[in-house]
Amino acid sequence: MNPAIQYVLYVVILVALALPLGIYMSKIMGGERTVVSRTLGPVERGVYKLLRIDPKEDMGWKKYLAAALLFNLFGFAVLFLILLFQGHLPWNPQGLDGLSWHLAFNTAVSFVTNTNWQAYSGEVTLSNFSQAMGLTVQNFVSAASGIAVLYALIRGLVRARAKGIGNFWQDLTRCTLYILLPICLISTLVLTSQGVPQTLGGNRYVDLVEPIAIDVEGNALSSAEIDLEAGTVTVDGQTVPGAQIVTQQVLPLYPQASQVAMKQLGTNGGGVLGNNSAHPFENPNLLTNTVEMIFLLVIAVGLCFSFGRSISKMGVSHGMRQGTAIFLAMFIMMIAAMWIGAVHEAAATPVLEQNGLVDTALGNMEGKETRFGVTTSNTWAVWTTCASNGSVNSMHDSYTPLGGMIPMLLMMLGEVVFGGVGCGLYGMIGFVILTVFIAGLMVGRTPEYLGKKIEPREMRMAVLLCLATPIAILIGSGIAALLPGTMDSLNNTGAHGLSEVLYAYSSGGGNNGSAFAGFNANTPFLNISIGLVMLFARFVPMAATVVIAGSMAAKRKVAESAGTLSTSNAMFVFLLILIVLIIGALSFFPALSLGPIAEYTEMIGLS
């Protein structure tokens, strides 16, 4: 199929599914009746009764924030203990030991913050219990926490002279019960039908079609002659001492389908297998690839339409236009990223062209699955870093310098190009507030948003919301680059080596979780430092968002006047994109110049 047609089809399917889903989510979070209300309504009420939650309580911003932070702290503690003591817990047919304290800390932080950064290979590190009861649970509730905080902000923007911004426990329950669980149940059945494993039975051993030989260092001997009866291995007639003959392979079988469905839908990204969605057990064919890829962004895109409908239902005139304006700003940046990636990945690198090693018509196929090709791989790479997802179906370490820079830059922007479920949109609303304020100063108009004046308190919180990610990434990667021990974790030196470090901290700071696949981050310093970056970049913006929600809810509404800046027209969309690029891109330009841009100049120098 023509690549341009493929790109258009993927985008059309995404938006076509996101629009009705956004309307459905708006109804759920607004307490309106839906097609599942009769079935799930009694379950929701049962949850409130069991946990002694008063769904009618309207929390102030301090109580709402405390509930959100304490809930996530509790989730971290439980997951940390599960990982630390997994060797003594059930559902461990592989007999895996518990994780080291620093890896358990990093992994627990990663999944609680919706990052799912993995400094390990899941199939040889985590048990069924850790995967199903530890990681999958956090895949649900970390995603639900982000949507809950977004709706607290929506209520704060719309309510007038109010003290409350909603009920965290009710928001969390509705997100999980009505949105995430039903979609994941259906998609798990679809993935299982296509061959994605879902079992607690443990690994299986199968015979190889042809035995292989390995030397004492573990290297495969491709030209070896194997005598199974004598148990000898010879190369060019000479016996290889210490060589071993391998006749079986291990198939890593876990409850994968249920985790794959949720890791994509909730912009989590952490996989059961080290090769993630490039592995045929997680992503067997084009159908599963399309389903999983759409799931990367469908909720995040849908929330833009959900935002517009919700504020419209709460009394904001032209509310849908407000949501559409934010959607268009995100959409334009995503399309631009897809186009840049497509241009650079569709061309082979100069070295491959000179040596004639590949069919250059296929583009840069290094690190990509032949069953997916460049077009689908590039789309996935852009979408997974637009969202704070991080799952991959190709190795970003093997992309061209500028093709690999695009995923990195999308994370550096704070993942507000749709971003994670909930957190992406409330991060973009922080940029909206900055844009309103800056544009108001430029033209002498009153800084207002949705009928509320933007004052110093909101501006301080909006700046903190927008700059938390750059601060975390630059400080973390800067310290790591100064330490000589970091060199031992690199797969490459020079500009590409710096890109590996920068990508790792961008992934943690952007709550993304993807990796360049050449960086060994499982060391005490890297586990702790990246863990702290993830905590800062997740909960500082979350706290700033809730403060903005409380501050805006207490304000009175002001009438729209000739001095009010429109926040739903084409000019505002342009200004919003400009502010995002100025604050995000320019903050990282010096670092990008030393990494992927320098590598690009070296590459073209070879041509």
Task: Please tell me whether residues 167 and 218 are part of one structural domain.
Answer: no
Q: In order along the chain (607 residues), what is the average pLDDT of each group of 10 residues?
A: 89 96 96 92 95 94 97 97 95 90 96 91 88 91 96 95 95 96 93 91 84 80 74 78 84 86 88 85 92 94 96 87 95 95 81 60 80 91 91 87 89 88 94 91 80 91 92 92 84 80 89 79 90 95 97 89 81 94 83 84 70
* Alpha-carbon span 356 to 101, nearest angstrom: 48
Please say which residue of 235, 251, 267 terminates a domain: 251
Sign of CA dihedral 19, 154, 387, 32: negative
Task: Please tell me whether residues 246 and 282 are part of one structural domain.
Answer: no
Task: Please tell me whether residues 401 and 514 are part of one structural domain.
Answer: yes
pTM for the whole thing? 0.92
Task: Please tell me whether residues 190 and 215 are part of one structural domain.
Answer: no
Q: Where are the alpha helices (DSSP H) in 197-255?
A: none
Task: Please tell me whether residues 247 and 291 are part of one structural domain.
Answer: no
Task: Please tell me whether residues 434 and 355 are part of one structural domain.
Answer: yes
Question: Which domain covers residue 147, as residue numbers?
Answer: 1-198+255-607
* pLDDT score for 356: 58
Query: Which residues, other chains included, contact 19 with Cβ-Cβ below 8 Å and sequence gap of 6+?
Result: 302, 305
Task: Please tell me whether residues 92 and 179 are part of one structural domain.
Answer: yes
Task: Please tell me whether residues 389 and 491 are part of one structural domain.
Answer: yes
Task: Please tell me whether residues 530 and 572 are part of one structural domain.
Answer: yes
Task: Please tell me whether residues 368 and 439 are part of one structural domain.
Answer: yes
* pLDDT score for 490: 79
Task: Please tell me whether residues 105 and 225 are part of one structural domain.
Answer: no
- Cα dist from 161 to 65, 451, 462, 556, whole Å: 19, 13, 21, 5
Please say which residue of 216, 251, 286 terminates a domain: 251
* pLDDT score for 570: 93
**Vertex 211: Cα angle to 206 and 217 (nearest 5):** 105
Residue by residue, DSSP assigns 160-210 as SS-S----HHHHHHHIIIIIIHHHHHHHHHHHHHTT--B-SS--EEEEEEE
* Length of the chain in terms of residues written: 607
Task: Please tell me whether residues 383 and 326 are part of one structural domain.
Answer: yes
Question: Considering its fold, how many domains does the chain have in total?
Answer: 2
